[in-house]
Amino acid sequence: MAEHGPSSSEERAARLQDSRRSVGSSWGGIHPARWRAIEALDDDLTILDVGCATGRYVQRLRARGRIAWGTDLLEDAEWSNSWFFRGDACALPLASGAVDCVVAFEVLEHLPHPAEYLREFRRVARRKLILSVPNCSVPDVMRRAGVTFHHWVDPTHVNFFTRESLDELLRAGGLTVDSMALVNPIRPELLLLSTLRVPARVTAALAPILERIPWRMECGMTILATASV
């Protein structure tokens, strides 16, 4: 895991705002694999989403009768009630053991000294952590092709994790790693069809068919981990 970058919340907020603008409307959207990890939790567990962005996970959980809150360094226009509060992940304004589970999707890669933040997550969570970070272990075939995951060029990323380094970080923080998987597969067929000058409308029709090829190798862009306190 490499680490560098700004340490003040003001610097991180400014760079995070730039990143949100570049990503656009997909920022904060619900990802199926991440949602399934939350759904696997017991129904009575309380949840805090750290780095909640738009707060859509919290909103969906609340709509289903779950108790959940969200916090982020930046407020979002979609926050419409007291379920959300602005805060820095390094000093959450909560008592120790305030919630059962802390969720932090695509957060640790933005934070200097991730072990310190992980200790804060562990302090407020009584039972579980669910984390996702970009996968920075680039397959050899992608290196030979001269391509890499797009998150390598995100200027707000100051940590670069592999499954091995994330596992080491969690275990060093006194956590028991329950599961770790690669999710969010890349779509190389889009690049292939584009280089062959296939028209966009034909690409849109062919891509879903190619995605269903049973022997295709999937390269996950994201590491999703669940750990017990």
pLDDT along the chain (229 residues), means of 10: 53 62 62 93 95 93 95 88 90 94 94 92 96 88 74 80 95 95 82 81 81 76 94
Q: What is the pLDDT of residue 5?
A: 44
How far is it between the farthest Cα atoms of the chain? 57
**pTM: predicted TM-score of the whole model, two decimal places:** 0.81
Give me the CATH topology for the region 2-185+220-228.
Answer: Rossmann fold (3.40.50)
Q: What is the pLDDT of residue 18?
A: 60
Q: What is the pLDDT of residue 68?
A: 96
Q: What is the pLDDT of residue 71?
A: 95
Q: What is the pLDDT of residue 212?
A: 78
What residues does each domain of the chain span? 2-185+220-228
Q: What is the pLDDT of residue 24?
A: 52
Q: What is the pLDDT of residue 3?
A: 45
The DSSP code sequence of the chain is -EE-S--SHHHHHHHHHHHHHHHGGGTTPPPHHHHHHHHTS-TT--EEEET-TT-HHHHHHHHTT--EEEEESS--TT--STTEEE--TTS-SS-TT-EEEEEEES-GGGSSSHHHHHHHHHHHEEEEEEEEEEB----HHHHHHT---GGGG-TT--EEB-HHHHHHHHHHTTPEEEEEEEEEE--HHHHHHHHTT--HHHHHHHHHHHHT-TTPPP-EEEEEEEEE-
